[in-house]
Structure 1
Amino acid sequence: MNDTTTDATGDDSAGTSGNDAYGHKPFKRSTSHFPDRITADGRDGWPVASGRYRLVVSRACPWASRALVSRRLLGLEDALSLAVADPIQDDRSWRFTLDAGDKDPVLGIHHLSEAYDARERDYPGGVSVPAVVDVPSGRLVTNDYQQITLDLATEWTALHRPGAPDLYPEPLRAEIDDVAEGVYRDVNNGVYRCGFASSQREYEEAYAALFARLDQVSARLADRRYLVGDTITEADIRLFTTLVRFDAVYHGHFKCNRSKLTEDPVLWAYVRDLYQTPGFGDTVDFDHIKRHYYEVHTGINPTGIVPVGPDLFGWTTPHHREQLGGRPFGDGTPPGPAPRDERVTPAAPR
């Protein structure tokens, strides 16, 4: 996620290309510039190793939040250390001003851009999260947000906690990929296409696709607890990180305002079910989320005023989704509490 710009660039892999008849730049997402993979056999030169790598995230970013949830569910906290960037960026993008001395205590850098420069100086792209950095060399390994969580689930298995769930079960991968692709195109990316649209037609097309997909997903989830199979999978993680931000940010800030998430009984119960599942809600920081979007996107919100609402009380109310059956962790177990230094201070309901 790279939200320092105020035009059509909106996240970790967004970019702009070409202008319309009025000189507007349509929203277009580019591919990750550093797609290296950390694998069990080290075929890209980056073998899985406990303690070698550091995951850099912003709790504001939905793409980085995928990695946060996966890491918690799989119990990789001791194997893959965590750096959390300030939700407000400066002209060098993501910075470590939440840490003592405004410096990451492990990498010893003030800005994530320093790890990018160590890998490739002056590369043609923005500084994005999630990012994985090689601690010994200080070099960026990957910023491929689509692949990072898949590799955590399939390549890091030797370091998973006992009882870790299978988030990408092989028999269901084709279905997971198919569901996730539609969610990515119309929901994960769709809210950005609405928010950063540069013409009325572009906005309305993205808006229509977004709510058509949400209606489809709602119908799918009406009689099943999870998107694919009867356990939590990668597909649920990818949908959750957009839904949890929907009413707080996307409904108003990105003009995704046909209806609020709380007005869809199925989706509202589904996202509350996940939020109340260990590994999901305990990674969410509504304060970081709201401050980032409303303060950084000055092209959309030039005053920088951060809304007081919505009221957060409903997130902890009963969802009753357990009546649909399903086993959240399959044959596994829930993760334990988050490490003390990674716990999120719950935002006060208001």
Structure 2
Amino acid sequence: MVVMDTDTTTAAAGSAATGPQGTSGAQGSYVTGGQEFVRDTKYIETRITRDGRDGYPVEAGRYRLIAARACPWANRTLIVRRLLGLEDAISLGLCGPTHDADSWTFDLDPGGVDPVLGIPRLKDAYDQRFPGYPKGITVPAIVDIPTGEVVTNDFPQITIDFALEWTDHHRDGAPQLYPEHLRDEIDAVNKGVYTEVNNGVYRCGFAGSQDSYDKAYARLFTKLDELSERLATQRYLVGDTITEADVRLFTTLARFDAVYHGHFKCNRTTLDEMPVLWAYARDLFQTPGFGDTTDFTQIKQHYYIVHRDINPTGIVPQGPDLRNWLTPHHREELGGTPFGDGTPPPPPRPAEVVPAEHWVPTS
């Protein structure tokens, strides 16, 4: 069985003509017939810490976050980096929304080369540290600029370390996304959200049998119903401010109607037919750091073009209508404030603004 991640590039069977920047051009394969989808969660566990115990100490300007706006796991890092004000400390490289079986690539940059790392493929940074790296090339990844080596792609730990290890570089007014007195509850909530929702939509979309799909579908909507009950009486998942838990749920909800409902067959109801979750998602979307890091055009391009074994034509749908993301949510009536005693982040840096045509129509 081939164990894969949609945001991982993995060699596909057969041969293909060479694509741009030396990539294979071959499409990856995401569904194993007759089997359920099992995500490979063995990531590079090296950490960047204040004490540098893994050989990579916190140091402003030394590291580059490589992400893709299309990817929900990478979108988490974009949100947290912005909420905490780490833009000056950790630079950002963005891959394009599509990739082949070989690697994510820097399609958005002039010449298709990252301007800081000088590489056309993210795989080059993986191979620089681990020659012949045998696993998938995933985003997000953090690269050590002086050596050009990947440091980590352990996405659940990256955002936690942004919150706990990089505090000397947080902006004034940065929120407490992983406060000590709530960590046990956040961890418990995150575990259920990850297994049943974040990964649950993929278990539906990449199911290789009717039975595995049926079970994944039931688990997904059971958890969404439970989350609706929880959020009916509280504004945020844990406590009365935004935490890491909200970041993790949001990136799946933001993609639900645009991709998961149709492409992944998660079609019991759309998000906008689930009143509590829909209001919760809009509340976060309209909070600085969340909606302004969301690129709906790249999201749809990624899923519908890359997953050719699910969508062989590569046609990207025109819908859904996204204008309702900006409608009133009334979640403030439940109490709580997004940033607690802190403040919202300033507007995105000009170079990091999502193009208006990729966002929500305002008229």
- TM-score over 0.5 (shorter chain): yes
- On the 8 A contact 1:13/1:30 being kept in 2, the answer is no
Is residue 232 from structure 1 mapped to residue 242 from structure 2 by the alignment? Answer: yes
Q: Which stretch of structure 1 is more off in the superposition, 290-299 or 24-33? A: 24-33
RMSD (Å), alpha carbons: 1.6
- On the 8 A contact 2:8/2:139 being kept in 1, the answer is no
What per-residue deviation string (whole Å, max 9, x for no partner) do you get for residues 17-53 of structure 1?
xxxxx96343111223311000011111110110000
Q: Which one of the candidate residues 133, 150, 164 is aligned to 1:123? A: 133
Runs of at least 4 residues of structure 1 off by over 2 A? 7-15, 22-26, 346-350
Q: CA deviation at 1:239?
A: 0.1
Q: Which amino acid aligns with 2:181?
A: P
In the alignment, the residues of structure 2 paired with residue 232 and residue 91 of structure 1 have an alpha-carbon distance, to the nearest angstrom, of: 36
Which secondary structure does the structure 2 equivalent of 1:55 belong to? Answer: strand
Is residue 218 from structure 1 mapped to residue 228 from structure 2 by the alignment? Answer: yes
Structure 2 residue runs of 5 or longer lacking an equivalent are 11-31
In structure 2, the residue matched to 1:296 is 306
- On the 8 A contact 1:168/1:234 being kept in 2, the answer is yes
In structure 2, the residue matched to 1:39 is 49
- On the 8 A contact 2:256/2:271 being kept in 1, the answer is yes
In the alignment, the residues of structure 2 paired with residue 91 and residue 235 of structure 1 have an alpha-carbon distance, to the nearest angstrom, of: 31
What per-residue deviation string (whole Å, max 9, x for no partner) do you get for residues 199-222 of structure 1?
011001010000000000000000
In the alignment, the residues of structure 2 paired with residue 77 and residue 210 of structure 1 have an alpha-carbon distance, to the nearest angstrom, of: 35
In the alignment, the residues of structure 1 paired with residue 299 and residue 69 of structure 2 have an alpha-carbon distance, to the nearest angstrom, of: 7
* 1:14 to 1:292, Cα distance in 2 relative to 1, 3 A: closer
Identity of aligned residues (%): 64
In structure 1, the residue matched to 2:4 is 9
Which secondary structure does the structure 2 equivalent of 1:140 belong to? Answer: strand
In structure 2, the residue matched to 1:3 is none
Q: Which amino acid aligns with 1:11?
A: T
TM norm structure 1: 0.94
Is residue 70 from structure 1 mapped to residue 80 from structure 2 by the alignment? Answer: yes
Structure 1 residue runs of 5 or longer lacking an equivalent are 1-6, 16-21
Alignment of 1:1-350 (within 5 A): 9-12=4-7, 24-346=34-356, 347=358, 349=361
Q: Which amino acid aligns with 1:9?
A: M
What per-residue deviation string (whole Å, max 9, x for no partner) do you get for residues 226-271 of structure 1?
0000000000000000000000000000000000000011000000
In the alignment, the residues of structure 2 paired with residue 231 and residue 109 of structure 1 have an alpha-carbon distance, to the nearest angstrom, of: 40
Q: Which amino acid aligns with 2:84?
A: L
Q: Which amino acid aligns with 2:346?
A: G
In the alignment, the residues of structure 2 paired with residue 177 and residue 40 of structure 1 have an alpha-carbon distance, to the nearest angstrom, of: 22
